[in-house]
Structure formats: C-alpha cells, structure tokens
Amino acid sequence: MKPSISIVALLAFLLIGYPEAHADSAPSMQEKHNTNITMSFKEPEKYDERNLVVKFAPDAEPALKRKILQGISAQELDSTINGFTLVSVPSGSDLTALSRKLLKNRAVELVEPNYEIKSTFKPTDPAFGKQWYLNKISMPASWDITKGTAGVTVAVVDGGFSMVHPDLKGRFVHPYNAVTGETKLPSGDHATHVSGIIGASMNRIGTAGIAPSVKIMPVNVFLGDAADSYWVADGIRYAVDSGADIINLSLTTDVYSSVLDHAVKYAASKGVVVVAAAGNSHSSKKFYPAALDSVIGVSAVDSKDQLAPFSNYGSYIDFSAPGVKIYSTISQGRYAMMDGTSMASPVVSGVSALILSKNPFLKPAETMQILKKSAVDLGTKERDNKFGYGRVDAYNALQNTPSPMSTVSLSAKTFIEDGKNQLDISFSAHKNTYVSLYVKDGKGRIVKKLIWNKAWSGGKVSYHWNGKLDTGAYAPSGTYKIYAKASNKKHKLYKTASVMIQDDILPAVSFSKSSLVFSPAVKTKLDIPFTLNKNANVTAAVYDSQGKLIRTLHEKTAFTGGTQLIAWDGKDGGNKRVKDGIYKLTVSADDQEGRPGEKNSMAIAVDTAAPAATIAASSKLFKMDGKTKLNAKGTIKETARVTVKVIDTTGTAVKTLVSVQSWKTGTSTIAWDGKTAKNTFAKEGNYQFVLEATDAAGNKRTAKSASFKVDDIR
C-alpha cells in the first residue's frame, strides 16, 4: 500500500560486506535492519544535512542517550515518535562519520538521514474537463447510499491548506503543523486539491468531494516544497492520536525509512487505514511509504482506464484510481486541474471514507478486502503490477460493505403486560463491538437496561423482556422506545424501535420481612420498606392486636413502582405514643385504572423496655500473677447484642472483653487475664466489669459488677 508524494530518496544504504549496494536497491520493509547498517550520504539535496534520525535500544536510559549524543556534539530536537529521536548536529558535519560513531554504541540500533519529501502532482490546463472521474467510479449511485458521515475523519498529511476555501470551510478538524508543532497552517495548492477530492462540500458551488460529509484533518509536514521523513512520521502519529480513521499520504520517497515504517505500523495497530500514492516516476522501483506493509499503494489511471504515463507501478501497487486531469479545489478559493498519483490516492481515501461511513466498525484488513472485492479488474486477470487488484469503484464497494447493525425487531408493536407475556427483542451487530440494549420512557429517561456494554463477536443479539423496569416494577401503559447500540473505542451507532405497552397487571404489595421491632423511645420513626409492582395509589394503616384501627398513615397516596418506604412514629391518631405490644401494618394499592390489588400485612412489635441484665465478678480480689484469670458471669433476660468491658475507678475502659456479640437469654462466663487494651498488665487498684445489652428495638441496659481489687503478685 503506497502514497502520492514523492519523497526524494536521499541516501544510499551501504551494507557492510556488500560495497556495491546503491540507492536503487533501497531495502524493502521486510528486511531486518540492524546496527551493521551504515549510510552513504552522496546526494545531500535529498536530506537535511543538519539532522539525523536515531533509534535507541528500548532499555536505553535518558542519561545514556544524552551522553551518546554529547559524544558527537549533537542535541535532541524531538522524541515524540516512540523509539526514534530527531537530533541536530553541528553545521558542516560529516554525517557518514557521525553515523558510524553512533553505531559503535550498543544502545544505538539504527541511524538514518532525515529524508526530504516532495509533492508529486502535475498541474494541467484548468479549463480541460470537470470531475470526469466521479462517474468513472460510480459516485452518483454511491451518494444515494451515503455521502459520508461527520463521524469519520480523513487525515491529509501533506503541505499547506486553504482553510477558508468555500468548498472546504467547515470540513476541517484538529489542524496540526508538524514542522512548527502549532495549529496554524500555511496555505498551499497541493494539499487543498487533495482535500477537495476527498471531501469538498455539496454546497452548489465549485466541486463535489467523494465523501462530502466526512471531516478532514489537515496536517502540514512541509516547509515550502520540502518535507522530511521524521516530520511525516510525526504527522502520522498526530493523526492517529487525534482520532483519524483514514490517513492519506500523497507523498513519496524512493528510500526506505525506518521512522516512516514505524509510524504506519503504529497507525495499523490502532485500526487506521493508510493510503498512499505510488509516485510519478514511471518506475517499477519501490517508493515509500506506498511500498510499506499496512499501506494501500495507489497507481494512477486516465479516463480510459489506462495507466497514466507518469505513474509508478510494481509489486507494491494495491489499487489504481483516476489521477489524470483531476479538477479540484486549490488556494484562494480557486479550482484547477492536476495530474499525479497524488490525485489518485485521495480517490481511494474518499471511497474508504464512504465504506467506513456505512460501517465504522470495520478493521483496515476488512476495508482492504471490500476494496479488493469491488475493484474493476484492469490489465491482466486479477492482480497485476500496474493496476493492483483493479480500479476502485465506490458503488461496488458500498454494495459489498456489510451493515454495522440491523434494525431492531420486536415480536409485537403492542405488548400486553400481564406478568407472563414476554416481548422478544433482537438485532444484529458487527463483530468486535460492544452492544447495549435499553428502554426509554416518553420523557427520554432510561428506565430499563437490558444489556449493557457487552463484548460481541458478531451476529444476532436477543432479549426477552417481561416489562419490568430497573426499579423492579412493571412499566405503566404508554409508548416506549427500545434502543440498540453498537460501539467501539471510536464510534457508536444506534437503532430504535417503538412499542406500546398495555398494562394488565394488578397492583401488588410485598414486604421483604414478615415483622419488625420498633422502640419509639430510641428512634423518632420506623421506616418500613415495601415493594410495589407498579405505580399505584397506596393506603396504609396500623391496627392493634384486637384489630382496632390505631392510625391511617396513607390514604390513596400515589407511589411509583419499586422499593418504597412507609414511616410510622409509633403514635396513634391522637398523636400519643402507643403502648408496647404487637401491631399490624396493612397496605393495599389501587392502580391508575382503579383496579384494586390484594392487601398485605406485616407485624410490628413496639418495645420500649430495656433488656434486663446483670454481671458479677467471681471474686472481690484478683491476684494477678500472669497466669490466673478472673471470671465474671453475665446474665440477660432476652436475646440482645452484648458488650463487656473492664473499667477503672474513673470509668475509663481498660479492656473490651466482648464486643457487640449476640447473646441468647441466660448466663455467660467471661474471663479477664489482667491485661489492658495495650497488652500490658493493669496497675494495682479497683476495677469493675460493665455489661451493655441492646435489644432488637435498640433499647439499651448497662449493668455493673461490684468493685474488685487487683493485686500484682508477678
């Protein structure tokens, strides 16, 4: 896969032991580069004589890197591309000698020049034809399917851009100047022309882009007519990190660059499609980055599907596209014809943008397969070195692009909710996505999450819904919208379907407990949880053990379905606290249609009496020898939570022997070894055991033993 800017191959690689190697035998991407490779800088116009690109070993510490660079009087300029560092060297330096010196360090894996990159377009008569290539690649029929979406972004890594061109204004996002590190970009014709081919607006003026609704990310890597491999790689890195889905590289060089190779591999690892021009030298020699793996290399054809006389060809060509007399946008609001593989590359990028607009979840390999399956075969049957797999065709490509997700299918448009029926919901989603399925009410609120961010391997998603909401209650009658969502890290799509719910459920009240205990002397109110199976009007009342009404707490009060609370302060209708005893809370509900449900009740024991409790030491004298223990017997008359402590004469606890332990009615024995909470022996003096008992209602009783004396006889 290859680009359309011609990066003039700057250096010749000289393999030690192979002295006859020269610039025309630049290593392919598959060759393993190692520290035995040095370089011959015979064509200084092809690289920056003040820079080197150095690849350090992954474990090289920053201090070691600085020491190595100081050894050749070099300074680090940038290291934003993982593993590669751009360095400056003193003016007039012998770069070959410096590279050999650097490679003597085991921490240095590779050194190469900072290659110059040039544009390859060929301007022609602006009056000759208008966008003939759009019919050639079946655009009118394609636009009936999609004109692209703003959710897809194509990065144009190129030269200057006309940011205010009337056909491109509003199309640009996240501009970046790799040369300056700023967002301000110079103006220029080439990148503007490329951008117009991809995404010129359909605004009834000028030209129409192949994907007029996508976003374009303008990335400048040129200073005037020159660029270099490091800044192109930096532009690719920026585009990937800024969310580009496709990167167009209408630039080229005839020399392999490790830093460019690294950059396009990084793009591929992040799921970004990279398209590049083959170059305009009418040569079968490999040109980069088009000849790199993971890059779609594009040759140029004319209106008769003949290889353009200037177009490169060879084993690295993946597709061909129109590249002769291409009419598009240029600077200062103008339009012009241009020739070049620089123009063919954005045709493929634009078609790829339409594919991803239809299905944004496709991986680069899947996009590549769609382009292959859809291409118009030219030349010899199947793939050849002139046209690759053929000339791209947008309509065929969109026809072969699978939908990312289907419509939402419901088993019924009206769902009768009776507690037994189920609504069957299904949709299909692309593989390698996360799927969600949820329900929104008439106010747009999510009321039920059926499936939430589930990793999906592709195919049909199904769910059977009984009408219950996240609250646990059944949905009231009304219109609801079912949302299906498919997403990945960059994109998300939705499909919806509406359903009318007819609620035939009778209201029902349930309690999680059959009884509660309450002490109005301890708590100001008792919150009684209950569950309502649907929105309803609730009546709640308290009765005594004889069935006499004590107090009405709610009279047909509207409650929403789900878990709710009823509060009682332990008082009767006359606002007087009730006597201790057993009471009954009865709750009934009528729904919005007036249909009554069955009543349900629970018992409430009102208990304000503290539990009876005593504690006594087994002796009034404790001779503490480090081995003997002093026992105490604690007695309670009802089940309670018990804490037992030893306190001194000031009432300070020196040791907790039992902490909030459940005791049943009866007597329990506790032993103390004389040690404090700090695990030191207590001082001689008088002490007491203290027992605190708290019953189920929260009533508390504190009992103390008679005082006992501690003598230390250790």
pLDDT at position 1? 39
Here the tokens at position 222 are: 């040129």
CB atoms within 10 A of CB 410: 17
pLDDT at position 42? 56
At 142-170, the pLDDT tens digits run: 999 999 999 999 999 999 999 999 999 99
State the Cα–Cα distance between residues 155 and 292, nearest whole angstrom: 18
Is residue 688 within 8 A of residue 706, CB to CB? The reply is yes
Q: In a 3-state reduction of DSSP, which class is residue 659?
A: strand
Name, in order, each residue with C-beta under 8 angstroms of 97's C-beta and a sequence gap of 6 or more.
none
Which single residue is written with the structure tokens 């330096």? Answer: 93
Low-confidence ranges of the chain (pLDDT < 50): 1-40, 123, 125-128
Q: Is the Cα torsion angle 161, 165, 171, 173 positive or negative in sign?
A: positive
Angle at 230 between CA 227 and CA 236, to 5 degrees: 90
Domain coordinates in residue numbering, the chain: 8-115, 122-399, 409-503, 509-606, 613-712
CATH of region 8-115: 3.30.70.80
State the Cα–Cα distance between residues 535 and 524, nearest whole angstrom: 28
CATH of region 122-399: 3.40.50.200
Q: Please report, for residues 89, 187, 430, 491, 641, the alpha-carbon distance to residue 81 in angstroms, rounded to integers and kept in the order given.
A: 19, 26, 33, 26, 66
Catalytic residue status for 491: no
pLDDT at position 79? 84
Domain 122-399 and domain 409-503 have a common topology: no
pLDDT at position 121? 57
Catalytic residue status for 174: no
pLDDT at position 120? 63
Whether omega before 218 lies within 30 degrees of 0, making that bond cis, reads no
**Options 342, 357, 374, 705, the catalytic residue:** 342
Catalytic residue status for 158: yes
Backbone φ/ψ region at 224: left (φ over 0), alpha (ψ -120 to 50), beta: left
Is residue 75 within 8 A of residue 87, CB to CB? The reply is yes
Q: What is the pTM of this model?
A: 0.77
**Options 48, 88, 158, 357, the catalytic residue:** 158
At 166-221, the pLDDT tens digits run: 999 999 999 999 999 999 999 999 999 999 999 999 888 889 999 999 999 999 99
CB atoms within 10 A of CB 38: 17
Name the strand (E) or helix (H) holding 320. Answer: strand 319-322
**Options 165, 190, 262, 430, the catalytic residue:** 190
pLDDT at position 39? 44
Backbone φ/ψ region at 17: left (φ over 0), alpha (ψ -120 to 50), beta: left
CB atoms within 10 A of CB 504: 16
Q: Distance between alpha carbon 414 and the CA centroid of its chain, in Å?
A: 36
CB atoms within 10 A of CB 166: 14
pLDDT at position 28? 27
Terminal-to-terminal C-alpha distance of the chain: 90
Rounded percentage of the chain residues whose pLDDT exceeds 90: 84
Angle at 382 between CA 380 and CA 385, to 5 degrees: 60
Q: What is the mean pLDDT of the chain?
A: 90
Is residue 698 within 8 A of residue 608, CB to CB? The reply is no
For 130, list phi and psi in degrees, rounded to 5. -130, -160
Span 613-712 CATH architecture = Sandwich (2.60)
State the Cα–Cα distance between residues 421 and 405, nearest whole angstrom: 27
CATH of region 409-503: 2.60.40.4070
Nearest Cα neighbor of 187 from 349, 353, 334 is: 334
CATH of 509-606, one of 3.40.50.300, 3.40.50.170, 1.10.1740.10, 2.60.40.2550: 2.60.40.2550
CB atoms within 10 A of CB 307: 21
